[in-house]
């Protein structure tokens, strides 16, 4: 176990089934550069999106419990699938810990669309959840919401296939049902998908805006820390720790370029470790 540190100088915990949550992590690093962070990727059990709700709920509770045992002050569930299944029960179980979750950005996309048609690309687990159905009912406001299940895409990102002909061919096949719909917004409803941005642009062209909620989630996290009096005050930046339940070498290979491009990366303590939960 890591040394917890006291109060507001404790790290933020960030959780995803795999590397997708790093699309949120990098926005947190940009907005809250002084904060220490513990990132947990449950890669041994990923992808979550094609598992049952019960399994996802159990794995998410185990992962969040592990992060809390490391002494984190706030948890970001940087996974739409885990949030859809478990956010309510997580908040019930740990009412004193701020827990920030993800949901597909249907509301901003519905406000921005000019054609009145938005696409949502997410995992089956997210799209089938009551939470998503209620989100659309509350915020689509007469806009047509076209959902597409990104089956196989999380695995593709986990394997490091982010662009090039293979990635584009896979995306073209998955997005084919959207061809007839005049969408001008595509909601990236899974935190793995911002890493496919270049390939998605190739496939969709310039007329479709990609909606990534990660910057808004980072801003929400900062507000939550402010309101709870939990922003870090220590003069030096906190450490960044990265943990995976899966293959450490593969995880490091994916994480390194993202961490290296983060501001102040060279000024802090950074570690990588494999764990079992
Ligand atoms: N990053 C997760 C999400 O946002 C991927 C879920 C999965 O493992 O399938 O939904």
Give the residue among 29, 67, 70, 77 at the shortest CA–CA distance from 238: 29
pLDDT at 1: 47
β-pairing verdict for 270-274 and 74-77: unpaired
Most ligand 1 atoms within 8 A of CB, residue of 81, 86, 120, 213 to mutate: 81
Query: Do residues 132 and 161 lie in contact, with contact meaning Cβ atoms separated by under 8 Å?
Result: no
pLDDT value at position 187?
98
Return the H-helix or E-strand segment holding 244: strand 240-244
Residue 6: per-residue pLDDT: 60
- The CB-based long-range contact list for 212-215 (8 Å cut-off, 24+ gap) reads 212/23, 212/105, 212/188, 213/102, 213/103, 213/104, 213/105, 213/108, 213/188, 214/23, 214/24, 214/26, 214/27, 215/27, 215/31
CATH of domain 106-212: 3.40.50.1860
Backbone angles phi, psi at 76, to 5 degrees: -105, 115
The domains of the chain are located at: 7-102+215-274, 106-212
Site to probe by mutation for ligand 1, drawn from 57, 122, 123 as the one with most ligand atoms within 8 Å of Cβ, is 123
Query: What's the CA gap between 89 and 179, in Å, rounded?
Result: 38
Q: Tell me the torsion sign for CA atoms 40, 72, 125, 58.
A: positive
Q: Which fold has domain 7-102+215-274?
A: Rossmann fold (3.40.50)
Q: Rounded to an integer, what distance in angstroms lies between the CA atom of residue 265 and that of residue 232?
A: 17
Residue with tokens 């739409």: 80
7-102+215-274 and 106-212, same CATH topology: yes
Mean pLDDT by 10 residues, the chain (277 residues): 68 98 97 96 96 97 98 98 98 98 97 98 96 96 96 96 97 94 97 98 96 97 97 94 98 94 82 96
Structure tokens at 251: 């995880």
Tell me if the pTM is above 0.85: yes
As for ligand 1, residues whose beta carbon falls within 6 Å of it are 16-18, 20, 46-49, 79-81, 123, 126, 154, 190-192
């Amino acid at each position: 176990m890591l040394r917890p540190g006291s109060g507001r100088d404790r790290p933020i915990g960030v959780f995803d089934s795999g590397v997708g949550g790093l699309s949120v992590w990098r926005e947190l690093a940009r907005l809250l550069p002084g904060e220490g962070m513990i990132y947990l990727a449950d890669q041994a059990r990923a992808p979550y999106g094609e598992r049952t709700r019960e399994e996802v709920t159990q794995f998410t509770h185990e992962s969040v419990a592990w992060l809390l045992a490391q002494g984190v002050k706030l948890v970001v569930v940087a996974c739409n699938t885990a949030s859809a299944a478990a956010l309510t029960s997580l908040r019930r179980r740990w009412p004193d810990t701020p827990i920030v979750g993800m949901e597909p950005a249907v509301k901003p996309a519905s406000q921005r669309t000019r054609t009145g048609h938005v696409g949502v690309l997410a995992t089956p687990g997210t799209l089938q959840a009551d939470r998503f159905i209620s989100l659309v009912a509350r915020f689509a406001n007469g806009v047509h919401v076209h959902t597409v299940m990104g089956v196989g895409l999380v695995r593709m990102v986990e394997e490091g296939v982010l662009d090039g002909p293979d990635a584009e061919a896979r995306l073209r096949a998955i997005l084919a049902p959207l061809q007839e719909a005049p969408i001008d917004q595509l909601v990236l409803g899974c935190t793995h998908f911002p890493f496919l941005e270049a390939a998605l642009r190739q496939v969709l062209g310039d007329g479709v805006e990609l909606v990534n909620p990660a910057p808004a989630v980072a801003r929400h996290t900062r507000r939550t820390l402010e309101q709870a009096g939990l922003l870090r005050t220590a003069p030096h930046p906190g450490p960044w720790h990265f943990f995976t339940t899966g293959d450490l070498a593969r995880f490091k290979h994916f994480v390194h370029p993202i961490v290296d491009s983060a501001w102040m990366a060279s000024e802090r303590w950074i570690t990588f470790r494999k764990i079992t939960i």
